[in-house]
Structure 1
Amino acid sequence: MMHESTKDGAWFAPKRFGYGAGLPIAWQGWALMLLYVASVAGIALLNRAGTTGARMAALALFLLVTGLFVVIAAKRTRGGWKWRSGKRD
């Protein structure tokens, strides 16, 4: 869906059914998603270190990175996050 206009500054399309964001519609959304996946992969490697401190750090980093991703995605979704039941906005 890269053909859609992003003049409104949206990085993500809204989901048609449910709550949240759909797929990215701008390169910034794809970059954010790639950065999130890479961060989670790095955190998984930290978690494999095995020590208790490393696992606690991995959990804290995972919660922080996921929280940031959700906040940015919510702010950059066309029309914001709200419940949608298949009707057009």
Structure 2
Amino acid sequence: MSSEPEYWFPAKRYGWGWGVPSRWQGWAVLVVYFVLLGVAALRFRPDREPVAFVVLATVLTLLLVAACWLKGEPPRWRWGED
């Protein structure tokens, strides 16, 4: 058994951050994020309640970043070598 951690979100090859999910759990998190963002857009229409929509979208995005931070490779600037 490998002692290497199994990340849900691998690091991008270039730049800082994470790429597309590499495990089903990561895909599930991403699907839930987009579904909740769609529900927020239907409930708090951006053309009628822009502040509420932006606040909710910001909270959902921060939760997505937190999931990537906790379950993804440690973020650092990458230049494509490793």
TM-score by length of 1: 0.77
5 Å matches for 1:3-82? 8-48=5-45, 51=48, 54-78=49-73, 80-82=74-76
Does the CA-based 8 Å contact 1:20-1:82 persist in structure 2? yes
TM-score by length of 2: 0.83
In structure 2, list runs of 5 or more residues that go unmatched.
none
Paired residues in the alignment total 80
Percent of pairs with identical residues: 32
- Alpha-carbon RMSD across the aligned residues, in angstroms, is 2.0
**Equivalent residue letter for 1:60:** V
